[in-house]
Amino acid sequence: MVGEGESHAGFRWGAMNVRNRVPAARHFPALRHLIVAAAVCILAACENVELLDDSSDIERTWGEAVVALPPAGPEGPVLAKMGDRQMRKQIARYGRDVRLPVVLYMHGCTGIGNFKFFERLAKAGFVVIVPDSLARRFRPLQCDPKTKTGGFNRFIYDFRQTEIAYALDRIATLDWADRGNLFLVGTSEGGVATALYRGNEFRARVITQWTCHGAAIVEGIAAPPDVAVLSIVKGGDPWYGTDRTYGQQGHCGMFMNGRPHSRSIVIGGEATHDVYDSPENVELIVRFLLERRHG
């Protein structure tokens, strides 16, 4: 139930500098922890070790998010990690009064992918924020990409809903974010989250690589009835074949009755999962979001 064709791309950030000596560390448990962690880092020749990180799992999904930022001049879009120096520099280039439309992207069950799609959205003027669900300390997969089957650890669906709500709380603190132009896009497992989130904060939604069919825990579209929805799925998607799932065949169209400016697209003849492999599909999504953008 609910699979994913994306690969998890790891970002490498700068190595940490740790002092050789910390006086009287035995009096400070936190410092002892620092020394032990630094020693492990040196022995393992690692570049990134979490030191004294007491953030909650939901905070980690935001802190490890990937952000795609629109161009600010002749340079192209910037792909950065949430809050890092590169992101702050790019935001500063826009000026104090800028308000940018934001696409919140929910990745699939195997992690963050589709970076070219993020860059394309950024070129169109959107900031793309991609929370990293796999940054959680406790985060089993609900799918097996080798067998293209899913439905394991179904509490993950609740995780993804919480990630959307938390991301919205954080976006509300960003003075450059245009909160009147928020959009939700989700792929596969993230498409389920996009379909089932019940809030009214988003002007439009895009559901990709998901059929909106299945057990009650995943079926349907819960967006407010006046919110436009675009869904795209391949008719031959192997994740939803009758040999792997029960009742997940079809598409999201039957849940769009009376929903304005909404459309369900089924791509025939392809037994693959990824809809972003087609430039035409990517442009359909970009055009849909541009049409729904206010102002």
> Over the stretch 123-154, which tens digit does the pLDDT of each residue have?
999 999 999 999 999 999 999 989 988 889 99
Q: What is the pLDDT of residue 2?
A: 55
Taking 60 as the threshold, does the pLDDT of residue 12 lie above it? Answer: no
Token pair belonging to 190: 């993230």
Judge whether 134 and 142 are in contact, CB under 8 Å: no
Q: What is the pLDDT of residue 75?
A: 86
Segment 42-69 shows an average pLDDT of: 77
Angle ∠(157,216,207) on CA atoms, nearest 5: 55
Segment 33-40 shows an average pLDDT of: 48
Q: Which residues contact 106 (CB under 8 A, 6 or more apart)?
A: 130, 131, 133, 160, 163, 164, 184, 185, 186, 187, 189, 190, 191, 193, 194
Length of the chain measured in residues: 295
Q: What is the pLDDT of residue 183?
A: 98
Segment 109-136 shows an average pLDDT of: 97
What count of other Cβ atoms lies within 10 Å of the Cβ of residue 237? 27
Judged by average pLDDT, the poorest of 26-40, 164-178, 247-261 is 26-40
Q: What is the pLDDT of residue 54?
A: 81
> Tokens 């690589």 correspond to what residue?
209
Token pair belonging to 11: 């970002």
Taking 60 as the threshold, does the pLDDT of residue 53 lie above it? Answer: yes
Q: What is the pLDDT of residue 41?
A: 47
Query: Around 262, how many Cα atoms within 13 Å sit in the side-chain half-sphere?
Result: 25
Token pair belonging to 245: 């799932």
Q: At 20, is the pLDDT very low, low, confident or very high (cuts 50, 70, 90)?
A: very low
Q: Which residue has the higher pLDDT, 10 or 246?
A: 246
Q: At 38, is the pLDDT very low, low, confident or very high (cuts 50, 70, 90)?
A: low
Judged by average pLDDT, the poorest of 17-21, 37-41, 60-64, 177-181 is 17-21
Q: DSSP secondary-structure letter at 176?
A: T
pTM of the full predicted structure?
0.83
Q: Which CATH architecture has domain 57-292?
A: 3-Layer(aba) Sandwich (3.40)
Q: What share of the chain has pLDDT > 70, as a percent?
A: 82
SS3 198: coil
Q: At 248, is the pLDDT very low, low, confident or very high (cuts 50, 70, 90)?
A: very high
Token pair belonging to 225: 């009835």
How do the residues of the chain divide into helix, strand and coil, expressed in percent and rounded to 5?
A: 30, 20, 50
* pLDDT tens profile 56-107: 999 999 999 999 999 998 889 999 999 999 999 999 999 999 999 999 999 9
Taking 80 as the threshold, does the pLDDT of residue 157 lie above it? Answer: yes
Taking 90 as the threshold, does the pLDDT of residue 229 lie above it? Answer: yes
Strand 66-69 relative to strand 143-144, pairing: unpaired
Strand 263-267 relative to strand 78-81, pairing: unpaired
Q: What is the pLDDT of residue 3?
A: 52
Taking 90 as the threshold, does the pLDDT of residue 112 lie above it? Answer: yes
CA dist 149 and 275 (Å) reads 18
- In sequence order, the β-bridge partners of residue 168 are none
Q: What is the pLDDT of residue 212?
A: 98
CA dist 282 and 124 (Å) reads 12
Domain residue extents for the chain: 17-50, 57-292
Q: What is the pLDDT of residue 16?
A: 25
Which one-letter amino acid corresponds to residue 288? F
Which one-letter amino acid corresponds to residue 172? A
- In sequence order, the β-bridge partners of residue 208 are 187, 232
Q: Which residue has the higher pLDDT, 20 or 87?
A: 87
Taking 80 as the threshold, does the pLDDT of residue 27 lie above it? Answer: no
CA dist 18 and 39 (Å) reads 9
Q: DSSP secondary-structure letter at 9?
A: P
- Residue 30: phi and psi, rounded to 5, are -65, -40
Taking 90 as the threshold, does the pLDDT of residue 205 lie above it? Answer: yes
